[in-house]
Amino acid sequence: MAVTRQPAELVSLLERMWLIRAFEEKVSELYARGRIRGLLHLGIGQEGVAVGAIDRLAPDDLVFAGHRAHAHALAKGADPAKLLAELAGRTTGYCAGRGGSMHISAPDVGFMTATGVVAGNIPLALGAAYASVVGNRSLVAAAFFGDGAGQTGGFHESLNIASLWGLPLVLVCENNGYAEFTPLSAHTKIERLTEYAKVYGIPALTVDGNDVLAVGQAVGEGVDRARRGEGPTFVEALTYRLRGHYEGDPAKYRELAELSDWKARDPIARFAAVVADSGAFGEDGANDGVAEQQARARVDTAADEALAGPLPEPADITRYVYAD
């Protein structure tokens, strides 16, 4: 698609994608070394969706993501050191080390929640969109979920209400072709998930999720529509996770040829070529590679800071437990 963004904006998008990639590669390394524990879902290969979409939101807009949520938190502006501290169970983490990867919340930057409940974030985003209308505010709520979410009741109920009440909700479906180890064709007969939205009267379109600008264009239209009070929009972003469903998944359910096809469509490498063509790396391309270097350096510093944070004291085990 035609590039209409300023060179500095293009570089900034690339920097954000690199920050997420470097962060998740560091997380993978720390996980292999036992410094981070628990079930971990990485979105390496899907960075174009979170960055392209969240770029079109305002700082006050609210993001609700799922179990593969590091990218969305970082794209919304979460601090990598605090996020890493959370994953490593440190008291300095976003949720005092009690939440971990699937329960991140960084409300200071409008990243409201990750959740381990597939599609559980969609009714929450719906509620935020409703609160925006009731409270006479102009904020937009965005929900990010996978293709697997389309088979849940909460997804359908939320789409119906969002449409019926014209709520300012943007629904971003990251269709990566699999729900856990099950390919899309084995969990629904519907090929284009936009069909689900259309039956509820929601404008919907499918985009190349590995094209950060295409995602931004589609989501930007949805955000504008929501802001004008014209109700929800559904964007299906076609993408692929280059890692297994979880760290340690041997991923025997997919062919290597499929993986290498998608590696060739890596959203970061593709976009770096667009940035280079725009001349934003300088005349002789001198700044090519700087975004990656800076991201890796920032993540290294964040990891040092995060791992220096204290673990919770055993005596504090019931702290934040509100049962009678």
* Closer CB to ligand TPP, 181 or 320, in the complex: 181
Binding of residue 147 to ligand TPP (CB under 6 A): yes
CA 297/CA 63 separation, integer angstroms: 27
Tell me which residue of 51, 90, 97, 41 sits closest to 73, measured CA to CA: 51
Which of ligand TPP, Mg ion, none sits in contact with 16, Cβ below 5 to 8 A by type? none
Which of Mg ion, ligand TPP, none sits in contact with 67, Cβ below 5 to 8 A by type? ligand TPP
C-alpha triplet 86, 92, 95: angle, nearest 5°: 50
Instruction: Using CB under 6 A, pick the residue from 158, 176, 217, 233 that binds ligand TPP.
Output: 176
Shortest spacing between CB 246 and ligand TPP, in angstroms: 8
Which of ligand TPP, Mg ion, none sits in contact with 101, Cβ below 5 to 8 A by type? none
For the chain, what is the radius of gyration of the CA atoms? 19
Instruction: Using CB under 6 A, pick the residue from 149, 167, 275, 303 that binds ligand TPP.
Output: 149
> Taking the CB of residue 270, how many other CB atoms lie within 10 A of it?
15
1 and 211 in contact (C-beta within 8 Å)?
yes
Which of Mg ion, ligand TPP, none sits in contact with 56, Cβ below 5 to 8 A by type? none
Instruction: Using CB under 6 A, pick the residue from 45, 93, 110, 148 that binds ligand TPP.
Output: 148
Binding of residue 157 to ligand TPP (CB under 6 A): no
C-alpha neighbours within 13 Å on the C-beta side of residue 309: 25
Contacts of 166 (CB under 8 A, 6+ apart): 229, 230, 231, 232
Instruction: Using CB under 6 A, pick the residue from 31, 155, 178, 196 that binds ligand TPP.
Output: 178
Binding of residue 116 to ligand TPP (CB under 6 A): yes
> Taking the CB of residue 116, how many other CB atoms lie within 10 A of it?
14
Choose the stretch contacting ligand TPP; rule: CB under 6 A; options: 8-16, 143-151, 207-215, 294-302.
Answer: 143-151
Tell me which residue of 37, 101, 35 sits closest to 74, measured CA to CA: 101
**Residues lying near ligand TPP in the complex (CB under 6 A):** 67-68, 116-118, 145-149, 176, 178-180, 245
